[in-house]
Amino acid sequence: MVNRDFIHHRQEYGKHTLVVEDMMDHPVIQFKKWYKQAEASGVKEPNTMTLASVDSHGQPTIRVVLLKEITDEGLVFYTNFNSRKGKELAQHPKAGVNFYWQLIEQQVRFDGSITKISAEKADKYFSTRPRGSQLGAWVSAQSELIPSRQYLEQELERFTTQFEGQDIPRPPHWGGYLLTPTRVEFWQGGKDRLHDRILYTAKKRAWARCRLAP
């Protein structure tokens, strides 16, 4: 039996169109442009992205993380290396991310390789985090089983006492990753579901662009 509530959940698109010739030669530069437009348009947390990795059995897994830096090489995000995603990225250092900005009817998809950023760069970023977030990185053995919420609160109290009156160092199990893209797709919602999809594919010294069917 079809759930009619889902049938009627339909968003009409068509605010903008994409022209291949008008887009930047490099997808990261084009992404920076779109990102600034998303911020200016009032998109809340435009750095929210869905990250997909794959486990040892070939099962894709996804979760939402936050983009923290856009470099000429790609996208930087931070997490616990011992988490489920950290272990999966260690086994299979490739990933996909997706940004969806409903307010402006745009998506951007990145596929690429994953490498850890330097410890020095991770230290620098960690030092800018709120103290509560720094403590949280020590408290949470991310993705591991824990006995209760109270356990987390006790661990927070323990680390709060341990680091009282001093700077909190970055935990050795916590740091950043760089996703270096090999394929990037820009999606603009279109009328009657005839969306615009422009694909960038990495070549030896440049990027090729083409249009995909919606």
DSSP character at residue 103: G
193 tagged catalytic: yes
| Run of H or E residues at 96 | strand 94-101
Rounded Cα gap, residues 23 and 34, in angstroms:
11
Given the residues 131, 158, 193, 211, the one annotated as active site: 193
Q: Which residues pair with 211 in a beta bridge?
A: 198
Strand-pair category, 69-70 with 174-188: unpaired
In the chain, what's the furthest Cα-to-Cα distance? 61
Rounded Cα gap, residues 133 and 135, in angstroms:
5
Q: Which residue has the tokens 């970055």?
A: 170
Rounded Cα gap, residues 147 and 204, in angstroms:
51
Q: Residues with catalytic annotation?
A: 193
